[in-house]
């Protein structure tokens, strides 16, 4: 039984990493489509979404099979519950990439709002967070997970900066209200992607330390 | 063992419903705080967040205990995995209520953008979706879950309408750019709450029918 579980575990980790790399790639391409006003890349993101969704179903089925094995340890159960949640977060990162790609398609119809403020930097950090959170899962690396959590504040402050700049443009020139609004939506999507990576990192700490770090204010246990 | 599981199941359902009612109340109050420019209600939402977070931890611990019971059926396992995910969604609905309450605090400092377009209607439907999705969990009611899914499109089209109206205000009068922007954020939060209710409803169908409806495009199984 134990070897059966270990083998399943390796498979699940491998699938999660693969799914994570698809999601990260989707985010990267979607933001690229916005920055370069590239309709072709935007379409590619939409076309590739199904691969992420299929992987989610596959991983969930694998989790179900593994939970049905007898005499799992508390650590094993925690890991499997964590995987079920991480799987949802990854799929939702893919959804956000789709939203960004759709924004790219709409942005194309408007005059360019330049410069593209801090969106590229925000995207870069969010992508790194996704990648690192998955690596933290695979290597059960709590330190790496904590470094993901630290970056959530950076993304939030970049988002605030992006908002401020875009709102200033809007006030100065009402002709850019629509395209600037699309970029606000993109910043919101990137914020949400960073939130999902944060959730994944919190799950890693929960899995490894058996401790819940999701609500520091409740740290009385 | 079986009675042990059944008893745990009833407890978990009861906690989920309680947590759902806290989350729904938080959303309702937060939106009220925005509509009435009421700082006191906004503060109350922030103060009450911990109750939702504590409940999340409690439910997760209960799920862990129940998964450790031997010889659960595939249906039981599916239910427990579903509960773990539903629990996360409820907690994130609470987070969104907090975001709305914070928007209410910022909106207070600006002149009122009136009328408040379709935000009240959007909020009402999102709250109903949360309530119905939880009822669908408890009664394993697939029909009710499907009615939740149907309403997600209504919320999305209300959101688009809210966006259009607010962007028009912004173009007409640059003095309202900031407060109108806060209302855009509130609409985004309500959209996200409806998304979480949709996720819960999809989990109900997964739990009951053992079938994955999350990705209709993949409906080849």
pLDDT digits (tens, 9 = 90+) for A169-207: 999 988 889 999 999 999 999 999 999 999 999 999 988
A135 to chain B, any CB pair closer than 8 A? The answer is: no
Average pLDDT over residues B19-36: 95
Give the domain range for residue B106.
2-218
Q: DSSP letter for B115, please.
A: S
From the candidates A46, A48, A49, A60, which should be mutated to test the interface with B, based on the most B CB atoms within 10 A? A60
- Per the CB < 8 A criterion, the answer to whether A59 and A169 are in contact is no
Q: DSSP letter for A173, please.
A: -
Residue with tokens 């942005």: A107
List C-alpha distances in Å: B39 to B29, B34, B44, B144. 11, 9, 9, 36
- CB–CB contact A70 B70 (8 Å): yes
Separation in Å, CA of A152 to nearest CA in chain B: 15
The CATH number of the domain holding residue A87 is: 1.20.58.220
pLDDT, tens digit, for every residue of A117-155?
789 999 999 999 999 999 999 999 999 999 999 999 999
- CB–CB contact B74 A68 (8 Å): yes
* Alpha carbon distance B121, B11 (integer Å): 33
What is the pLDDT at residue B88? 94
List C-alpha distances in Å: B112 to A127, B117, B177. 38, 12, 11
Confidence (pTM): 0.90
pLDDT range class, residue B115, cuts 50, 70, 90: low
- CB–CB contact B212 A57 (8 Å): yes
List C-alpha distances in Å: A88 to A95, B77, B126, B168. 11, 17, 21, 36
Q: Which residue has the higher pLDDT, A197 or A208?
A: A197
pLDDT range class, residue A110, cuts 50, 70, 90: confident
pLDDT, tens digit, for every residue of B39-96?
999 999 999 999 999 999 999 999 999 988 877 888 888 999 999 999 999 999 999 9
- CB–CB contact B171 A184 (8 Å): no
Is residue B220 predicted with pLDDT exceeding 50?
no
A81, A177, A192: residue with CB nearest B170: A177
Query: A64 contacts in B (CB within 8 Å)?
Result: 74, 77-78, 81
B70 to chain A, any CB pair closer than 8 A? The answer is: yes
pLDDT range class, residue A220, cuts 50, 70, 90: very low
A72 to chain B, any CB pair closer than 8 A? The answer is: yes
Q: Report the number of distinct structural domains present in chain A.
A: 1
* Alpha carbon distance A23, B56 (integer Å): 27
ipTM, two decimals: 0.87
Print burial letters for B130-157: b (CB count within 10 Å at least 16), e (below 16). Answer: bbbbbbbbbebbbebbebbbebbeebee
What is the CB-side half-sphere exposure of residue B178 using CA atoms within 13 A?
Answer: 12
Average pLDDT over residues B192-211: 92
List C-alpha distances in Å: A135 to A21, A94, A167, A200. 11, 18, 37, 10
In chain A, what are the helix, strand and coil shares in percent, each to the nearest 5?
85, 0, 15
Is residue B165 predicted with pLDDT exceeding 80?
yes
Separation in Å, CA of B178 to nearest CA in chain A: 7
Is residue A211 predicted with pLDDT exceeding 90?
no
């Amino acid at each position: 039984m134990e070897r059966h579980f270990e083998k399943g575990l390796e498979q699940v980790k491998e699938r999660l990493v693969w799914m994570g790399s698809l999601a990260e790639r989707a985010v990267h391409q979607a933001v690229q489509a916005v920055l370069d006003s590239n309709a072709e890349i935007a379409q590619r993101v939409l076309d590739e979404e199904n691969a992420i969704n299929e992987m989610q179903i596959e991983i969930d089925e694998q989790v179900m099979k593994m939970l049905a094995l007898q005499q799992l340890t508390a650590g094993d159960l925690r890991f499997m519950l964590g995987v079920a949640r991480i799987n949802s977060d990854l799929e939702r990162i893919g959804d956000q990439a789709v939203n960004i790609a759709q924004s790219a398609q709409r942005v194309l119809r408007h005059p360019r709002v330049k410069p593209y403020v801090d969106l590229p930097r925000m995207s870069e950090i969010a992508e790194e967070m996704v990648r690192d959170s998955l690596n933290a899962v695979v290597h059960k690396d709590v330190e790496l997970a904590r470094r993901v959590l630290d970056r959530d504040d950076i993304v939030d402050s970049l988002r605030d900066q992006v908002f401020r700049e875009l709102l200033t443009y809007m006030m100065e020139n009402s002709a850019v209200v629509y395209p600037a609004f699309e970029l606000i939506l993109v910043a919101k999507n990137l914020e949400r992607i960073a939130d999902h990576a944060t959730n994944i990192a919190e799950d890693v700490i929960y899995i490894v330390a058996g401790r819940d770090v999701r609500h520091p204010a409740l740290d009385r246990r």
